[in-house]
């Protein structure tokens, strides 16, 4: 099994849409270890990825009701998160695993996502928005991952093109600039696959 981990600089930046695009491009299975919060229909990120990628989605180890950081959502829901249940699942073919929020989001009060990524030892893609503040958030995230020895494939941007910010993050952070996924007014499996193919080289993720 080859696994790619997708994390982000913050929440609500397009990480799940990017994960769906990558899952489809790699012909991978998708897994979100902890889902905290769902929409009015009870759907979370897994359902979004299934709809936009057409690929198999594995059940989360923990599916929490409260929409907040996993550590707090678990406490509110009366659930104790067991690290042993967060081992990467074994699948045939590639796997895309997506974290929650940013790299230092707590899974429990003793475990951050960055620590979990280090334990997994698989390469990480950092998803970053292109808007104001992204240089600081991105470089802090890169430092947090690198200080834990987490291997990085590079940074994938989401949003409108901001050439200087994207180039600056790659240069100062010493990471590969993988590409940029534009915001899609008509977001479907087809338009997402086309946008990914036009803006990324799938070989960079293998």
Q: Does residue 143 have a known ligand-binding role?
A: no
- Annotated ligand binding at 127? The verdict is no
Known binder of ligand: residue 16?
Answer: yes
Assess whether 32 carries a catalytic annotation. yes
**Residue 114, SS3 per DSSP:** helix
Task: Find, among 3, 24, 17, 5, the residue nearest to 157 by Cα.
Answer: 17
Tell whether residue 82 is among the known ligand binding residues: no
Give the count of beta carbons closer than 10 Å to the beta carbon of residue 12.
Answer: 9
22 is in an annotated binding site: no
- In angstroms, the CA 36 to CA 34 distance is 6
The answer to whether the annotation marks 98 as part of a ligand binding site is: yes
d(CA 182, CA 195): 7
Query: What backbone phi and psi angles, to 5 degrees, belong to 67?
Result: -85, 80
The catalytic residue among 32, 65, 176, 190 is: 32
Q: Does 6 show up as a binding residue in the annotation?
A: no
- DSSP letter for each residue of 35-100: EE---TTS--HHHHHHHHH-S-BPPPSEEESS-S-HHHHHHHHT----GGGGSPPP-SS-EEEEEE
- Tell whether 52 is in a known binding site: no
Q: Is 12 annotated as a binding residue?
A: yes
User: Which amino acids are annotated as binding site for ATP, given as ranges?
Assistant: 12-17, 45, 98-101, 182-184
User: Which amino acids are annotated as binding site for Mg(2+), given as ranges?
Assistant: 16, 45, 98
User: Which amino acids are annotated as binding site, given as ranges?
Assistant: 12-17, 45, 98-101, 182-184
What residues are labeled active site? 32
């Amino acid at each position: 099994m080859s696994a790619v981990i997708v994390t982000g600089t913050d929440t609500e930046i397009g990480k799940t849409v990017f994960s769906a695009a990558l899952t489809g491009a790699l012909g991978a299975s998708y897994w979100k270890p902890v889902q905290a919060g769902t929409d009015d229909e009870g759907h979370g990120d897994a359902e979004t990825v299934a709809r936009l990628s057409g690929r198999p989605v594995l059940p989360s180890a923990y599916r929490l009701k409260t929409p907040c950081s996993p550590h707090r959502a678990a406490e509110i829901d009366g659930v104790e998160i067991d690290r042993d249940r967060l081992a990467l699942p074994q699948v045939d073919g590639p796997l895309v695993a997506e974290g929650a929020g940013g790299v230092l989001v707590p899974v429990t009060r003793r475990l951050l996502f960055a620590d979990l990524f280090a334990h997994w030892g698989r390469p990480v893609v950092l998803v970053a928005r292109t808007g104001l503040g992204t240089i600081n958030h991105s470089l802090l995230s890169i430092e947090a991952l690198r200080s834990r020895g987490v291997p990085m494939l590079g940074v994938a941007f989401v949003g409108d093109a901001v050439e200087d910010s994207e180039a600056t993050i790659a240069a100062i952070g010493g990471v590969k600039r993988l590409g940029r996924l534009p915001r899609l007014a008509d977001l479907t499996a087809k338009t997402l696959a086309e946008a990914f193919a036009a803006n990324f080289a799938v070989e960079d993720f293998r």
